[in-house]
Amino acid sequence: MVSLDIVLYNSRSMVDWQPISEAALRKRIAQGVKRMDAKAHRLWDAIRIEPEKWRLSPYGDAGGGFWVVAIIGRSAIWYNDIDEGFNRSRYSEYGRIEDYWRNDDELEVTLGYLMSALECGADLLSLRKPARRPR
């Protein structure tokens, strides 16, 4: 069953969505990197990857997926170009994001949340219930 909230969100945002180009994404990344302090920059250098499109159905289907820009453990930092912000989500299969988030954070903010989780042990990703597996 699809919730009314998802249907309304999809009809409002997905119709007008133009996926961000790789060149525009790289520009956003460069802007975020410039705003990072030295500690955040070292972490970024350790986890960043060349941007690549990963699946996240149904949200990313129309744009061929979302750009993943960094990986650490079983989480990926990715750009949601529908809501124009960076997010961090779990993945269990390389190339497929598990959790859809609508954050409109800049890259350095998302990296700051990750740094806090690494330093303090409290991680918002662990507060979310795991997706239920089909029987």
- Residue among 63, 92, 93, 94 at smallest CA distance from 79: 63
Q: Is residue 25 part of a domain?
A: yes
Residue 95's domain comprises 17-125
Q: Does residue 132 form part of some domain?
A: no
For the chain, the domain total comes to 1
Q: Give pLDDT, residue 15.
A: 56
pTM score:
0.80
Mean of all residue pLDDT scores within the chain: 84
DSSP label at residue 11: I
Residue 9 belongs to some domain of the structure: no
Q: What's the pLDDT band for 125 if we cut at 50, 70, 90? A: low
Distances (CA, A) of 115 to 31, 48, 75, 84, 103: 19, 14, 13, 22, 17
